[in-house]
Structure formats: structure tokens, C-alpha cells
Amino acid sequence: MKVKNTAIILLHAPEDGGIVPAVIEFVLDNKGQIKKLDQHVMEDNKHLFMRIEWLLDDFTIPRDKIGEFFETLIASRYGMTWSLHFREKKTRVALFVSKYSHCFHDILSRFESGEWDIEIPIIISNHDKFRYVAERYNIHYHHLPITKQNKREQEEIELKLLNEHNIDLIVLARYMQVLTNEFIDHYPNRIINIHHSSLPAFAGADPYGSAFRRGVKFMGATAHYATEDLDEGPIIVQDVIPISHRDTIREMKRKGKDIEKQVLAQAVWAHLNYNVLTFKNKTVVFQ
Amino acid sequence: MKVKNTAIILLHAPEDGGIVPAVIEFVLDNKGQIKKLDQHVMEDNKHLFMRIEWLLDDFTIPRDKIGEFFETLIASRYGMTWSLHFREKKTRVALFVSKYSHCFHDILSRFESGEWDIEIPIIISNHDKFRYVAERYNIHYHHLPITKQNKREQEEIELKLLNEHNIDLIVLARYMQVLTNEFIDHYPNRIINIHHSSLPAFAGADPYGSAFRRGVKFMGATAHYATEDLDEGPIIVQDVIPISHRDTIREMKRKGKDIEKQVLAQAVWAHLNYNVLTFKNKTVVFQ
Amino acid sequence: MKVKNTAIILLHAPEDGGIVPAVIEFVLDNKGQIKKLDQHVMEDNKHLFMRIEWLLDDFTIPRDKIGEFFETLIASRYGMTWSLHFREKKTRVALFVSKYSHCFHDILSRFESGEWDIEIPIIISNHDKFRYVAERYNIHYHHLPITKQNKREQEEIELKLLNEHNIDLIVLARYMQVLTNEFIDHYPNRIINIHHSSLPAFAGADPYGSAFRRGVKFMGATAHYATEDLDEGPIIVQDVIPISHRDTIREMKRKGKDIEKQVLAQAVWAHLNYNVLTFKNKTVVFQ
Amino acid sequence: MKVKNTAIILLHAPEDGGIVPAVIEFVLDNKGQIKKLDQHVMEDNKHLFMRIEWLLDDFTIPRDKIGEFFETLIASRYGMTWSLHFREKKTRVALFVSKYSHCFHDILSRFESGEWDIEIPIIISNHDKFRYVAERYNIHYHHLPITKQNKREQEEIELKLLNEHNIDLIVLARYMQVLTNEFIDHYPNRIINIHHSSLPAFAGADPYGSAFRRGVKFMGATAHYATEDLDEGPIIVQDVIPISHRDTIREMKRKGKDIEKQVLAQAVWAHLNYNVLTFKNKTVVFQ
């Protein structure tokens, strides 16, 4: 049902009218059948973003040579930043969780039902609370409590675990710890966080309380790649819902759970399908 | 068609279970027929907000005595802040405009078509640009250019004009001047401003540019009562629309016009129907 | 945290200005502290809907006499249809499921995390597929395959099970079988179904395919009480999302899962909190 | 500011990987600078849709030869259906209106403010009501009352007027008359109608009343190209807003006006920018 045997190239480069046809012809000339093509030019800085996905069935360049050929024949000519992905390869996801379970359960359900065709080899938490859930799914659960004193050491353990499990993507499913820059630098644009406000409004702690006190009429959630500046990373997905004077903080928290899990899931889905490019702290998210 | 001969009381007071029945019975006992009843208790500060509208046809207290009786028999007992309004009385609106016309035209269309049953005796602008529009509708147009030096003087003239025309409500239809506190103090909760972002995000100048640079996935507009702190007044209505990497600043400005005029119109409509109460820099907006 | 010891009365009756104060005073005079009050008058048929919730702590009428007293003193005077509920009593929910798991998992997560303070004694399915999930939660799982020939018999078994487990509410979590009228009559306004379109558009089978072929720009989901006419019951909650020419049927089904589970959860939540009244095939849903 | 001197080609054709590079190279090889490129493949019927816009400044094919060259060199090879447009050429719009003014005023405001860079040479109405509005803008106003008996004759007059004024696009701004097939056939995919429901729900007369009686929780509006089957044409834009039991039919009509004018304006804007392609009663709307 789902097309499996495809390759995807994500690229961006200074705009040059010739890039799109050059990339298309790279695929066609080597007997690739294009499944999906997306491109976008950012008007203000004349920068091109492109995504192309093609069937590998009759492709004449061997799979393990595609990157080398693309770099030599195309990418180097245009000064591209690019990456190559294969649909067949399942993304290996690490889940980080603290004490809130709504995003955590939601992701596990999508995994279990096959809605997301991924692997989740490992769950990391600063609490032992959800070990029993991990056990249901036969996922390794690592309880690594964090204090100011031990953060760097615990992160070293985490990095070792992530490395051992060949993790491609880290999802912070309401993981309530700030990661150090050293940690983040190991997974640039590969750590997705969910913040429970429509950033840049109500960054930092207690966004629901702050939104309540300000008397706003909309509340939201933001999924973004984690960067060195807290709540400042490139935004992947946002969504909002209307609220009114009738909504207490408790009610906002309840409603917020639903929007948090939706927004996080949409962002992870976009990433899993190689639809996201980042550039200058912004994202291009193809559909 | 529209029920005309009704009175409306808006009130708020420290919560006391007895207020709602006391107010209802004040109306019923004097042969008022209740058309609409709304109430809300803010949980955190135990404060009651209430709106009651009733037909005056058989009401036994004379119209010009209702306020006195209500104060004596009810309001004073419960420490209420309250106001009395008559549906029959048309709200007299002053429009302030600069060089953007979308909100301005939108309001005038609603006025002309009878969608809003108001009077607009006066339009004030720091530019002469829209005098010809005012002339179409036989509305007085006052061109009062503002500089740092003359702001207080020009505002004095404006206040005099507003007073002469018995203005009930000032609508800042993208009026690009900051009002002084002295001016605002004359019309507490009676000046509605439209800000072109979903506050508190992107307060101040150039919200569309800032939103574009941050790479947000939603943009919005906020209608609020003007207060001494710029962009900090009680929010009446907000709305948002999704945007993507495809939206340039120019496109955001174009889309923004539509959401600005919708949000401003909804806020003015809520005010015109006496559906808005303010308390501690927040609003209760009944429907 | 959550207020427990409250009673709730839901009522509707031909409009009479005196009902609201009469009900309030019934509570206040007997030393009930009102937690929440909602009322609405349907303009066209002059019908009042009301919900009142109050603390029982100092209430002078014994809990098991409240109904009798309310009927005698208040309800009978005004020709009310009414029901009395106690917050403390956990709603006992039966889940019906077929082969789609998204709504099913979503509800179980809300149950497990304590977001919903309910009991789920029983899961009924026409497939054996999700028995292992039921076992995780120690919930009875009954596999009752349905054919044209055995539907009435199987439903008899179901009714017996529902009765044994004192079920208050049946949630059809994408249960792909049509229930007979005989079955539905046992649980009027107590069976919530989710339909995967924004009714009345695309009633019946294959709503996503039909929506795709018509080329609509929005798709949605509808939660409603099951009635004798398929997809015609009183609508409790609807929601929609934008789609475009880019959305294939497969993509619509994927997105639809998220909106289905959200809408169903919102409807169940409204029911669990005694916020829903039905009248003439429509609902009043208080917030 | 706005790029003026561009050409746009809209095309669709049976999918063939080579079309996109062929069209790009047609532009690049003749020294056209591409401003915007959009393409989409409908998965189910393997059909390609494409829009390309390029600067004509250095383009080596003379403007009046572009069509001929494109047909010969590109279109005929791939069996394309295509059209060529020049940004510089202002679209000439005819407005049809009856007695509702909200869409009518909204469009005229966009025209007057320069938000839409169009010409409106003519307004046609079955009532004389808005002649004074047309006079404000110096637009010809033709009052052509329609009866069952005279419809064909009046339409003949309308067609003659539209022809005399070189009309490109007809906008039915809540024009309450059904057009004959003979009339529609003169302007295929060039007549935009606004229907006041989220089609296919509540087609035909009185959609607000029907929506109210069904008790739906969302209402909407639909802009579509007029076709022989009433309310069945290709949908260009839809939008919806939430409603509740609190909304009377009168309130729905009031809120509906805002959504009608928004949806109609968005559809006209998409058409004016040559972003809409139709195929098998569906649209592809590029952004």
C-alpha cells in the first residue's frame, strides 16, 4: 500500500533557475520515476528549497552510490545543502518523558497501530513512573533522574544509549528538563520539543497560567526543533483553539493536552516523512 | 424584527449565591419580561458577572427611575459595579482612521447596510485622505494631523468634538497614533483598538515583519480596549489564521487585513450589544 | 482538586421567567452552595434549558430525597423534564470497537491517565483483534461477531452484559455495525457514535471517498447520540479541518483519525460532565 | 512593488515526468526569469497540474508569439490543456447583485482601495436598489429584473453587455437568480458564485434555516464556479465557523455574512491571480 522503495532528497541552495530542472533530470535520466516534487523559493533571500521523491525500482545508480553521484554531478555545482533518505529505512525514535502521559500515550498508540511505521527502541525518563507502559511494548526504559549537579553526567549516559540504539530522532513528549547545548549539538534538527503555548507568546514556565492572567481568547501549542535558546528553535507546527472567560486554568490545561498531542504528532509526522527543511531558524514544511 | 424596547443591566460583584435570583426577581416582580440572561462566576476570585435584558413594555418602574431603584434595592446591597443601557438608544460612534482603509470601509458598510444600527456623527483622521468617503455618508470629517509637539493640543480639539457629538464609543480603525493617557481617561473601556497580531505576541510596531522573521505558523489580530499601556488593554476578541513558509510579508499583510477587519467588527458588535464586562484587565464577553 | 461532592440537575421546560429563580432558591434555601449555573432559552420555541451544580456538604435535604423534593416542590409546577446526577458517582462506560483503534486507544489513555474519572467494565467487539489491549487494563472483552442472521441474538447478549455491568453510557469507538432500534431504545441519549464526516454532508458509507470525489475544501467528524435513523441523531460535537487538492483519500483517512478521536472525546467529556441536554433532535451543550 | 511584467501559464496534462523540466526549460532557454513555480500530480488519475510565472523583461520570444511557440514546442507534445495570462492585463469583472449588500460592498472596497488591481466596468442587478452605490464609483449599473417569462431575453441583454465591456470574470455577489445553462456556457469557469453553506450540506434554498433545524455545530460558505447543476460546480474556497445552541437563525445569518464575504473574496483573489485550475468538477488551487 505505502510506497516503500523510494529515495528522497531534501536540499536548499541559493536560488538559480536551473536547479529544479537539473535535479529532475538527474532522476529521470537515470530511470527514476518521480513520486512527488515540491519546491519553494523564499522571496526575500532568494533561496530555493526542494524535495524530490522517486521510485528506486529501475534507478540505474546503485543505492549506495546515489549520494556520491548527486554530490558530484549536481550538488557541488550549485552550492547545495542536502540530505538523502530512503523510505524503506525505519526511523528510530527515542521518547523522552517526565510525568505527563498524554503525548506519550498518543505516540505509542500511533506506533502500536502501525499508523507510524517507526521503531522505538528506547524511552528515557527522569521518573520511573511509566516503566510499566514501556514494558507493555517491550521498549527499553531508562530512568535517569536529573539534578543540577548530575545533569551533564546523566546526559552522557543518555548520549551513549542513543548512540547504542542508533537513534535518528528524539521526541520530547513533555519532557520537563532543559537539555544542555552540548547535548543538543549531537542532534541538530533531530530533537522535537512541544511547548504548551503558541510561541513566541508565553515562552518559559507556566504558559497556561500566564495566558489565563492575560485574558487571551486563543491558546495553543508549538512543536519546534530544540536549539540552544529555550523555546526559540525553528517552529515546525503550531495550532490554537479558542478560549473564553469560562475557561479556568484547570480547563485550559485539560484542553491543552489535546492540542499538545496533536501538534507534536503532526510535527513528528512531517519529520518522519522528510518534509521539513530548516534555514535561518525557520522551517519549510512541505505537505 | 429586532427587539427594541428593552433595558440591559451589566453588573459584576463579589460572588454571593443570592445575586442572580435577586436581580431576576427585581425584573419579574416589576413585570419585566426577561429576554436574555447570562451570568458567569470567575472561579479564582469568586467574582460574579451578569447581564440581564428585559422588555420594558409592561415594566412598572418608569424608565428614568430604573437606575435609582436598582441601586437602592439591589446594587448597594451586594457591592455591585453596574451599568444600565437601553436598546432603543443608538450608540454614537466616532471613527478614527489614518491611511489604511480596510477596517474603515468595513465599518462604514455595516453602518450603511443597517447591519449595525448605530450613528456615526464624526470621523477623525491625521490625514485628509478619506474626506471624500466621509462626504458620501454625510459624516463630519476632521483632519487633525498629529506631531510630537501638537499632540496634546490636537487631542483637546478631538475631546471637544467628541463631547459636542455625544460620542459613546471610539473605534480606532487602524489609527496609527498613540493616544495620551489623558485622552484615554475620558473614555475608559470605550475606545476599541485593533492590533495586527495575536497579542501578547508581537506587540508594538511591525508585527507582520516580526512574525515573518520568527517563522510562526499562525498570525492573528486582537481587538482590545485602549489603556495607558500600549497593546496591554483588556482583550475583547482575537482570531488567527494559519500561515506557512509560502507567505511573504506582503502576503501576510494582505491576509491580515481580512482578519483585522473581522476581529474589530466582532469586538465592536459585542460592545454595541452590551455583551462586554471588564475586570482586572480581562473581559467577560457574553454571546 | 476536582470538586466531588456535588449534585447536578439538568432540566428543560416551557419557558417561564420564574423557573431560574425557583431552582436557584431551591438550592440556596436548603443551604446548597452553587458551583455552576447555566441556562439558555431557545428563542423559537420558548423553551428553557438549565443546568445547576451545587455542593452537597451542608445541603439540608438528604441525598436520596433530593429527587423527590425537587419533583414535588419545583419540577411538577413547571412541567419540567429533568434528571439528577451526583458527581461522586463514576460513570460506567462500555466501549464498542471493531478494527480501527485510534478512538479506542485514545479513550483508554484518557481513562488510564485519570483524565477521565470513569469506569470501563466492559469492551464489546465484533472482532477478537483487541482482546490483548483489554487485558492490559483488566477489562472484560466480549467478542460478539455480527451477521445479518444473528444480530438480534447477539444484541440480546450485549444488552444482558450491559445490564449486568450497570452501564451508564455506551461509546461506539468506530464500531462498524448498525444497531437495531430495539437495542437503541434501551439507551436513549446514552449511546454516543462518531461519524467520519461533518454531517449532514456525506452520511452513510465511505464519507472520505465521497468528500474526495466532490472536491470539498474541509472535512470533519460528528459525534452524536445514536437514534433509529442512521447518522440522524442529535449532534453533540463537530469539528472540521481544511484540506486541499493535495490530500489523497489515504491522507484524508490519516488526518481524519485525529479529528475523529478529538470529536468523540469532546462529546464523551460533555456527556460525562452532564453538560448535554437533548430536545427535538438537537442538543444544548453547556460549557 | 508588485511585479507587473510577468507571464503565467496554467496547464494540465496526463502525468509524464518530463513535463515540468520541459516547461521550465522553455522559460529559461528563452531568458525568462522564473518568479514562481507550482505543480501537483493527482495520484489517482495520474494527472499533472502546473503553474509557472516568469518575468518578461529579457524574454526573447515576443509577447504575442509566446502562445504559438508554447503550443508548438511544448503543449502539443504532451497533450496539454493550457492557458496563457499576462499580469499586466487587468481582469475586467462584472458584478451581479440582488438585495444583499455585504459581498457587494466588500468587493467594491477592495477595488477602491487598490487591494484588487481590477476593473469593474459594469454592475448588473435584478433590482434598482444599489444604483446609487454604482454611481459613487462611476460604474455602469444595469437594472434587469428577471421573471420566469423574460429570463432568456434578459440574459441575452446581459450577454451583450458583458461582451461589449470585454468582461473576463463574473462575480455573483449573492445574486439570487439561477442562470440558464445557455448563459453559463458563455463563461465556463469564469462565473464565481457564493453559496451560504458548506456544500454539499444544505444545498438549495434556506441553508441557514436547514442548518439551524438540523442542529449542526458548524456553518459555512462555499465559493464555486457556476455550472449547469445548481450548487454542484467545482469548489474553489470553503470556510466554516463554529456555532452552538445559542445561535438563532437571525444570528446565523448575521455571522454568515462575514464568512460569505471572506470566502467569496478569497475565491476571486485566487482566480485573479491565475491560481485555479479545474479538472473533472474539482479544482486545484495553488497558493
pLDDT grade for B3, boundaries at 50, 70 and 90: low
Q: Residues A21-57: pLDDT tens digits? A: 999 999 999 999 999 999 999 877 689 999 999 999 9
Q: Do residues C252 and C246 make contact, with C-beta atoms less than 8 angstroms apart?
A: no
A92-97 β-sheet, strand order: A140-143, A119-125, A92-97, A169-172, A191-195, A218-225, A235-242
The runs of H, that is alpha helices, within D30-179 are 66-70, 76-78, 102-112, 131-136, 151-164
Q: Is the pLDDT of residue D242 over 70?
A: yes
- Residue C64 CA to residue C82 CA, distance in Å, equals 16
Report chain B residues whose CB lies below 8 A from the CB of A278: none
Q: Is the pLDDT of residue A285 over 50?
A: yes
A103: its cell numbers: 503525548
Q: Do residues D285 and D275 make contact, with C-beta atoms less than 8 angstroms apart?
A: yes
Q: Do B24 and C17 touch (CB under 8 A)?
A: yes
Chain D interface test: which of C245, C252, C285 (most D C-beta within 10 Å): C245
Q: What was the pLDDT predicted at B1?
A: 39
Q: What was the pLDDT predicted at C2?
A: 53
Q: Is the pLDDT of residue B87 over 70?
A: yes
Q: Do B198 and A198 touch (CB under 8 A)?
A: yes
Report chain D residues whose CB lies below 8 A from the CB of C199: 201, 214, 216
Q: Do B246 and D136 touch (CB under 8 A)?
A: no
SS3 B214: helix
Q: Is the pLDDT of residue B181 over 60?
A: yes
pTM listed for this prediction: 0.97
D268: its cell numbers: 476571486
Q: Residues C55-98: pLDDT tens digits? A: 999 999 999 999 999 999 999 999 999 999 999 999 999 999 99
B166: its cell numbers: 455625544
Chain B interface test: which of D101, D103, D269 (most B C-beta within 10 Å): D101
Distances (CA, A) of C255 to B171, C240, C250, C252, D144: 41, 10, 9, 5, 48
Picking from C105, C112, C246, the nearest residue to A113 by CB comes out as C105
Q: Do residues A161 and A142 make contact, with C-beta atoms less than 8 angstroms apart?
A: yes
- Beta-strand ranges (E) seen in chain C are 6-14, 33-42, 47-55, 81-86, 92-97, 119-125, 140-143, 169-172, 191-195, 218-225, 235-242, 276-279, 282-285
Q: Residues A119-142: pLDDT tens digits? A: 999 999 999 999 999 999 999 999
Identify the CA nearest to A49 among candidates A287, A243, A277, A241: A277
Nearest Cα of chain D lies from the Cα of C85 at a distance, in angstroms, of 22
Q: Do residues A24 and A37 make contact, with C-beta atoms less than 8 angstroms apart?
A: yes
Mean pLDDT for A150-179 is: 97
Q: What was the pLDDT predicted at B16?
A: 83
Interface of B with C (CB under 8 A): 17-18, 20-21, 24-25, 27-28, 33-34, 36-37, 39, 41, 242
B231 is catalytic: yes
CA atoms within 13 A on the CB side of D166: 6
Report chain A residues whose CB lies below 8 A from the CB of B251: none
Name the residues of D annotated as catalytic: 231
- Residue B260 CA to residue B264 CA, distance in Å, equals 6
% of chain A at pLDDT higher than 70: 99
Mean pLDDT for B71-87 is: 97
Q: DSSP character for C65?
A: G
Q: DSSP character for C68?
A: H
Picking from D17, D18, D34, the nearest residue to A17 by CB comes out as D34
CA atoms within 13 A on the CB side of D99: 3
Mean pLDDT by 10 residues, chain C (287 residues): 81 92 95 92 87 96 98 97 97 98 98 97 98 97 96 97 98 95 97 97 95 97 95 97 96 97 98 97 96
Q: What angle do CA D25, D30, D34 make, to 5 degrees?
A: 60
Residue type, A89: K
Q: Residues D206-227: pLDDT tens digits? A: 999 999 999 999 999 999 999 9
**Greater model confidence, A267 or D33:** A267
Torsion of CA A61, A67, A72, A76, to 10 degrees: 140
Question: Pairing mode, if any, of strands D47-55 and D33-42?
Answer: antiparallel
Q: Do C215 and D198 touch (CB under 8 A)?
A: no
Report chain A residues whose CB lies below 8 A from the CB of D37: 20, 39, 41
List chains adjacent to chain D, taking adjacency as at least 3 C-beta pairs closer than 8 Å. A, B, C
| Average pLDDT of the residues of chain A | 95
Picking from D136, D250, D262, the nearest residue to B258 by CB comes out as D262
Segment (H or E) for C252: helix C249-272
pLDDT grade for A16, boundaries at 50, 70 and 90: confident
Report chain A residues whose CB lies below 8 A from the CB of B285: 244-245
Buried b (16+ CB within 10 A) or exposed e, C80-97: bebebbebeeebbbbbbb
Q: Do C215 and D239 touch (CB under 8 A)?
A: no
Locate the chain D residue with the closest alpha carbon to B261.
Answer: D258
**For A232-246, C102-116, D10-24, which range has the lowest pLDDT when averaged over its residues?**
D10-24
Segment (H or E) for A225: strand A218-225
Q: Is the pLDDT of residue D55 over 60?
A: yes
Q: What was the pLDDT predicted at C1?
A: 40
Nearest Cα of chain D lies from the Cα of A162 at a distance, in angstroms, of 38
Q: Residues A192-201: pLDDT tens digits? A: 999 999 999 9
Q: Residues B202-255: pLDDT tens digits? A: 999 999 999 999 999 999 999 999 999 889 999 999 999 999 999 999 999 999
Q: Which of C106, C168, C231, C247 is catalytic?
A: C231
Q: Is the pLDDT of residue D1 over 50?
A: no
Q: Is the pLDDT of residue A1 over 50?
A: no
Rg (alpha carbons) of chain A, rounded to whole number:
21
What domains does chain B contain, in order, with CATH numbers? 6-86 (3.30.70.260), 91-285 (3.40.50.170)
Q: What was the pLDDT predicted at A43?
A: 76
